[in-house]
A and B are shown apart, each in its own frame.
Chain A
Amino acid sequence: MRGPAGASEPLLEVDGVSVRFGALLALNRVSLCIPRGEICAIIGPNGAGKTTLLNCISGFYHPYEGRIAFAGRERTRWRPPDVAELGIARTFQNVALFRGMTVLDNIMTGRVLKMRGSFLLDALWWGPARRQELAHRAFVERIIDFLEIQAIRKTPAGRLPYGLQKRVELARALAAEPELLLLDEPMAGMNVEEKEDMCRFILDVSGEFGTTIALIEHDMGVVMDISNHVVVLDYGRKIADGTPEHVRKDDTVRDAYLGVAHD
């Protein structure tokens, strides 16, 4: 179990955010703070609004009230590409890999924000364009080594088994060298071994690169093991916020989500 992360100014601040789809209130004045370097787990029953929260942070949904700040900067209504440039990367609940491309190309696409260049030079595959492409390739290969997916680098992404697809998605997110990594159910559908591997990777990412991580997760064992901060959502509201130990003992959380043992 991990202890609390070092106190520092919060990397991500979500303040009173509400999101509505027609008459449905998906998020209701949700607030949370994620300090730098932390691994924060967002848990709650299905439909609680967890993915919606992540989509808000990504800039894909815009809240109709509240604000979101990243590294002190207000960015509530920014569009996804601008949010990505701030240094936020993510994976998706239903694995959004680019099925028509190989694993290598998928991960290289994750590097797109780091690739500046004139397309004219690209067209000629010459000089700076060529060197840049090869430099990025070298970086991506390091990520491939890190996540142990060398054998499948030329396989079309659509043909991979589910567990490997999730790993490739993580690689793609890492390729952007993000400051904040959002993971939406990274271990869904995996067996015990695959989950252990994924846990190890997540901890390594946090430990080696210092990346701040927010993940949505249903497996309470994983949550207890790797996170040092837990936020609980239910019906669009935040109902608990604290260390894993504290949240586990909280009554409201047990009623809503964890369940109470009847003797």
Chain B
Amino acid sequence: MAEVLWGIFVGPFKDIAGSPTFFVEVLIGGVAAGLMYSLVALGFVLIFKASGVFNFAQGVMVLFAALTLVGLLERGVPVPVALGLTALVMIALAFGIERVVLRPLVNQPAIILFMATIGLNFFLEGFGEMVWGSNVKRLDIGIPDESFKVAGVLVNKLELTAALTAAVLVAILAVFFQRTRIGRALRAVADDHEAALSIGIPLKTIWVVVWSVAGIVAIVAGVMWGAKSGVQFSLSLVALKALPVLILGGFESVPGAIVGGLIIGVGEKVGEVYWGPLVGGAIENWFAYVLALAFLLVRPQGLFGEKIIERV
């Protein structure tokens, strides 16, 4: 018993203090993983902020984007063209989703739309794998997966690129929502579809725009993930982890997606390395969710979410 207590409350901290450079490397690894989650969560936030729909299929969109890109690259299409084509495919997908799924379900309760995106999730998974095949693929974007030392700490080039990309994306999106007219219109749509329609906001256009942007974000996420661990089906499962990120960060907050991702990423990595061996490892499977659950009990609307005042 004393061993267990030691293992939880003392041992890991001693390990941390014992080799600080290693701890920093774990932290960096966590930050990098966290930013990857954030990239996926960003897509969720975009769609939720703009259409009030919780898009369960975001993870699969990431997979789909990656599959398409890799499929094109494998057939010898040059990288810039492949990226452009993939973007077109995602835009076409956005059109399709708006026409087939969103338009018929306009103003249905949120839970119905959510379940529709679950259906979409599975459909796209099957479709993507049928078209491009389901074996693991390598994705090479010209940045080597190697590490170099900065101030005595190992840093991975790929992870660094991912971090920078995420930062740039977030900045662009934040400006977009806060400063532009379209951003305002999007927020109106997210609030109430029918009301927005009735004041002349072109719902259909907005949705296509938003889902396209989310699709582009999915491409970026897909590229980063794929380059790191190969493009495969489990990518969509990993993307499921974006859900705890959203809970921490709030569903409507772009900075929240980043902060939430960082917390989850770092928490997972540190937890796994220092506390994992205590219980046999593989904590990463559930740690993010339990962390989110703990947060929900204290603050049901997430770190950055708005407190909901219920009216009768």
Contact = CB atoms under 8 A, between A and B. Distances in A.
Q: How large is the interface on B (under 10, 10 to 19, 20 to 34, 35 or more residues)?
A: under 10
Interface in A193-208: none
A92 B312 contact: yes
A235 interface: no
A60 B312 contact: yes
B312 A21 contact: no
Contacts of B312: 51, 55, 60, 92-93, 96
A92 B309 CA distance: 17
A101 to B, nearest CB: 16
Nearest to A61: B312
Interface string A37-59: 00000000000000100010000
Contacts of A60: 312
Nearest to A93: B312
Nearest to B310: A60
Contacts of A51: 312
A46 to B, nearest CB: 14
Interface string A165-183: 0000000000000000000
A71 to B, nearest CB: 24
Interface in B279-310: 309
Interface string A51-92: 100010000100000000000000000000000000000001
Nearest to A94: B312
Contacts of A92: 312
Nearest to A21: B309
Interface string B131-155: 0000000000000000000000000
B305 to A, nearest CB: 16
Contacts of B309: 21
A188 to B, nearest CB: 15
B107 to A, nearest CB: 14
A214 to B, nearest CB: 16
Contacts of A21: 309
B30 to A, nearest CB: 37
A19 to B, nearest CB: 12
Contacts of A96: 312
B272 to A, nearest CB: 42
Nearest to A22: B309
A93 B312 CA distance: 8
B310 to A, nearest CB: 8
A92 B312 CA distance: 7
Contacts of A55: 312
A249 B296 CA distance: 54
Nearest to B309: A21
A227 to B, nearest CB: 23
B218 to A, nearest CB: 36
Interface string B54-89: 000000000000000000000000000000000000
A77 to B, nearest CB: 18
A62 to B, nearest CB: 13
A92 B311 CA distance: 11
Nearest to A80: B312
B286 to A, nearest CB: 32
A89 to B, nearest CB: 14
A51 B311 CA distance: 10
Nearest to B307: A22
B115 to A, nearest CB: 16
A170 B312 CA distance: 16
A60 to B, nearest CB: 6
Nearest to A90: B312
Nearest to A184: B312
A55 B309 CA distance: 13
A93 B309 CA distance: 17
Interface string B258-269: 000000000000
B110 to A, nearest CB: 15
A17 B312 CA distance: 19
Interface in B247-274: none
Contacts of A93: 312
A107 B145 CA distance: 66
A113 to B, nearest CB: 19
B276 to A, nearest CB: 42
B312 to A, nearest CB: 6
A21 B309 CA distance: 9
A45 B309 CA distance: 23
A181 to B, nearest CB: 16
A166 B103 CA distance: 32
A48 to B, nearest CB: 16
A60 B309 CA distance: 12
Interface of B: 309, 312
Which 5 pairs across A and B sit closest by C-beta, in order of nearness? A55-B312, A92-B312, A60-B312, A21-B309, A96-B312
Interface of A: 21, 51, 55, 60, 92-93, 96
7 contacts: A21-B309, A51-B312, A55-B312, A60-B312, A92-B312, A93-B312, A96-B312
